[in-house]
Amino acid sequence: MGADQGHAFSGSRERRTGTLLGRGPLQAASLLLLGEFLVRSLHIRPSILPSPSRLLLEIWRQAPELLHHASATATASLAGMVLALAAGFVYAAMTVFSNRADEISGPVISVLQRIPWIVLAPLLVVWLGFGKPPAAAVAFLMCFFPCAVLLKAGLHSMPVETLEIADSMGADRAAIFRKIRLPACIPYITIALKLSVSVSFAGAAAAEFVGSDAGIGYLMQYSGARADTTGVLAALSLLVFMVLLLHSGILLGERLCIHWPADIRLSASSHTPDRSCPADSGRESTCQP
C-alpha cells in the first residue's frame, strides 16, 4: 500500500517528467523506511506513534472493517462533491446567460464563501439525522463555493477578442457557450475536481466525528476515545489513500483531455466586458493628443 500511496503522491511530478510512475514509489518507500528506523531507534512507544510496519500490519488485519468504513465516507463525500460541482456549474452558467443574476448573486456568493462550513456539522446532524446525509451535506457546502467561483472564472476565461471574433461569425450565446466557453472551462473543471476531492473527504469525515455510526471519521473518533493510536492512524491512512487515489485519477484524466497549455487565471469577479465600453480603451487612452 505504501508503494501505491507513493504513486498517487507523485502525480504532479509525473506531469513534469512525463513518465507514468515517476520516482514516487521509491520516495514513498524510503520515507517509510526512514520512519521505521526513527521510531525503532528512538524507542517510541506504539501508543504514541506506531512504526510504519505496525501500522501496515494493523491495516492488513482490519482490512474488511476499514473498507466498510471507507466506503461509507467515500459515498458521502463523492455524493456531496458531485452535487457541488453540478450546482457550481449551473451557477456559473447562469452568470454567463444573465448579467442581472450575476450582479445579484455575486456579492452573496462572496460572503457565503467565507463561512467555515465545517463548523456547521453538528447542526446538520440535528437537521438531517445520523450517518451519510449530514456528511454529504458538509462535503457539498465545503465544495460548492470554490467550485462555483472556479467554474465561473473558467466560463469567463477567454479574451474579449475571442468573443468579438465569435460575434462576427454570428454566434449566439448558446453557440459561444458550446464552442468557446465550455472547452475553455475544462482546465478549471479539473482544478475544481482536485480541490473538491480533498475538501469533500475532510468535510465528510468531520461530520462523521459528530454523528455517525460508520465512516472513517467515526472510526477515528472511536479509536481515539480508546487511545488506540494505531487504529486512528490506520483510518487516517485509508482516508489519505482514497484522496490521493482520486487525485491521481483526475491527473490522468487531465492529461488525456487537455492537450493545450492551459492558462489559468483566477479572479473573484471576471465579468464579460460591458458592451458599451470599448475594449481598446486602455490601449487608446494612454496616448492623449
Q: Which of 48, 111, 263, 282 binds another protein (CB under 8 A)?
A: 263
Of 49, 262, 270, 272, the one binding another protein (CB under 8 A) is 262
- If one asks whether residue 261 binds another protein (CB under 8 A), the answer comes out as yes
Which window, 75-83, 216-224, 225-233, 255-263, contacts another protein (CB under 8 A)? Answer: 255-263
Q: State how far Cα 210 lies from the chain centre.
A: 22
| Alpha carbon of residue 256 to chain centroid | 19
Residues 128-167 vs another protein: string with x where CB under 8 A? -------------------------------x-xx-xxxx
Applying CB under 8 A, which of residues 114, 256, 275, 282 lies at the interface with another protein? 275
Kindly give, in sequence order, each residue whose CB lies less than 8 Å from that of residue 243, ignoring residues fewer than 6 positions away: 197, 198, 201
Q: Which among 200, 199, 222 has a CA at the least distance from the CA of 210?
A: 222
Nearest distance, CB of residue 165 and another protein, angstroms: 5
Q: Does 277 bind another protein (CB under 8 A)?
A: yes
The residues, any chain, with a CB within 8 Å of residue 197's CB and separated by 6 or more, are: 81, 243, 246, 247, 250
Closer CB to another protein, residue 123 or residue 175?
Answer: 175
Q: At 63, list the grid cell.
A: 482490512
Q: How far is the CB of 160 from another protein (least distance, A)?
A: 9
Shortest distance, position 95 Cβ to another protein, whole Å? 21
Report the first-to-last Cα separation within the chain, whole angstroms.
Answer: 70
Least Cα distance to 190 among 102, 260, 267 occurs for 260
Candidates 2-10, 89-97, 237-245, 252-260 — which segment interacts with another protein by CB under 8 A? Answer: 252-260
Instruction: Using CB under 8 A, pick the residue from 107, 129, 253, 278 that binds another protein.
Output: 278
Print the binding letters for residues 160-189 with another protein: x by CB under 8 A, - otherwise: -xx-xxxxxxxx---x---xx--xx-x---
Residues counted in the chain: 289
281 binds another protein (CB under 8 A): yes
Q: Nearest distance from residue 179's CB to another protein, in Å?
A: 7
Contact by Cβ (8 Å): 208, 217: yes
Binding of another protein by 286 (CB under 8 A): yes
Nearest CA to 143 out of 99, 105, 208, 198 is that of 198
Q: Please count the residues of this chain forming the interface with another protein, following the rule CB under 8 A.
A: 37
Rank residues 43 and 161 by Cβ distance to another protein and give the closer one.
161
Binding residues for another protein (CB under 8 A): 159, 161-162, 164-171, 175, 179-180, 183-184, 186, 258-263, 275-281, 283-289
